[in-house]
Amino acid sequence: MAGGVGERFWPSSRRLRPKQLLDLTGRGSMLRLTIERIGDLARPDEIFVYTNREQRDAVLAEVRGLLPEANVIGEPEMRNTAPCIGLAAVVAERMHGSQAMLVLPADHLVEPVSRFRELVRSGEKFVSAHRALLTFGIVPTRPETGYGYVRPGAELWHDAGVVVLRAEAFLEKPAPERARELVREGCCWNSGMFLWRTDTLLDGLKRHQPELHAVLERIAAALGTRSLDEVLNEEYRGAPAVSIDYGLMEKADNVAVMRADFTWNDVGSWEFIRDVEAADADGNVLVGEHVMIDASGNTVVSRDRLVGLIGVENIVVVDAGDAILVCRRDRAQDVRKIVAELKRRGRNDLV
């Protein structure tokens, strides 16, 4: 899934240069890292990228050589994750028959890749045997308030070093005290990465999202016909815009969670970079050339320009060539407010 903009990564992210196409780590774009992470779990023709039509050309340019051009699907309209994932399931069934399907947001960071692949291979065995909807639950390393949580229940299955449990409940982003409780109780972060058989997913949607399922059946009937574009345009725009978490995972009774012990980051704001880059002795995380005078706890991302800081603490500075962000670190979520203001002003070149 490579739609969306990532407005919290302004000034680097833009409508036609969305977060998943940015090289935020110096190791390649989020999307490229995500495809490379799949490695030998799937053949190139089994990998599909879903994006929106406006961004499709930019996505195509980024994935050239990694998978067939026809596997980059431009959604007619952004309708949240359930329609996107449902469409992916009917397309995959049409091309490869019913089989296991891994759903990955294109803007997460996962390390080490080898462990990720081990867990996916185990999960594939599990979902094939149990016909369950599996979510990857990350073993928390801190009482993070920026993530949702999954509460695990009874053990359903285990493989060498891998445990799958019943998912008892999905919990919204907690307050700090509640987050500490959830970690103590063994809850996991809800990663938004899923694994299931396509037929299990479509059965679940038929039961819990019948309206969406009907849309998907009409699209499926048009696949391979000349009316596909027209049907897709019309039907997809009419699909209920619901998330897969709310629309299916919180409702179904065959939901399982795998305790995933790889390092995971959802790259939700500029703060993410403090998880992946080392800080200096004063707690500054610095990407690019810089001079620090009595500056501590800052995050600076500026690949092309030198940044000098004097006497400031706990701020984020990002240079994107045509715009500069200076933000208190604990306000990193509010970066989207700048994007909203620029839209209001009609500054489409900067959003």
Residue 129 near a second copy by CB under 8 A: no
3-state SS assignment for residue 256: strand
Regarding 287 and contact with a second copy (CB under 8 A), the answer is no
Contact 10, 335 (CB under 8 A): yes
Chain centroid to CA 262: how far?
16
Nearest residue (CB) to a second copy, 193 versus 327: 327
- Which one of 169, 221, 228, 306 is in contact with a second copy (CB under 8 A)? 306
For residue 281, state whether it binds a second copy (rule: CB under 8 A).
no
Interacting residue with a second copy among 172, 177, 293, 346 (CB under 8 A):
293
Q: Exactly one of 307, 343, 346, 348 binds a second copy (CB under 8 A); which one? A: 307
Q: How many residues bind a second copy (CB under 8 A)?
A: 35
Whether the Cβ atoms of residue 80 and residue 241 lie closer than 8 Å to each other:
yes
User: CA-CA distance, 113 to 237, in Å (whole number)?
Assistant: 36
Question: Phi-psi category of 307—alpha, beta or left, where left has phi over 0 and alpha has psi -120 to 50?
Answer: beta
Q: Quote the least distance from Cβ 325 to a second copy, whole Å.
A: 5
Interface with a second copy includes 245 (CB under 8 A)? no
Which of residues 5 and 216 has its CB atom nearest to a second copy in the complex? 5
Q: How many CB atoms lie within 10 A of CB 3?
A: 23
CB 116 within 8 Å of CB 79 = no
Q: Is 211 in the site for a second copy (CB under 8 A)?
A: no
Return the number of the residue (14 or 108) whose C-beta is nearest a second copy: 14
Say how far apart CA 91 and CA 48 lie, in whole Å: 9
Tell me how far CA of residue 266 lies from CA of 102, 187, 259, 271, 335, in angstroms. 17, 17, 17, 11, 17
The reply to whether 6 sits near a second copy by the rule CB under 8 A is no
Residue 114, classified by CB atoms within 10 Å of its CB into exposed (0-12), middle (13-18) or buried (19+), is exposed
Q: Does 280 sit near a second copy (CB under 8 A)?
A: no
Q: Nearest distance from residue 347's CB to a second copy, in Å? A: 8
By CB under 8 A, residue 324 contacts a second copy: yes
Closer of 158 and 345 to a second copy (Cβ): 345
Q: Where are the alpha helices (DSSP H) in 104-246?
A: 113-130, 176-184, 198-208, 210-222, 228-238, 244
Give the interface with a second copy as residue ranges (CB under 8 A): 10-11, 291, 293-294, 302, 305-312, 315, 317, 319, 321-328, 330-331, 334-335, 337-338, 341-342, 347, 350
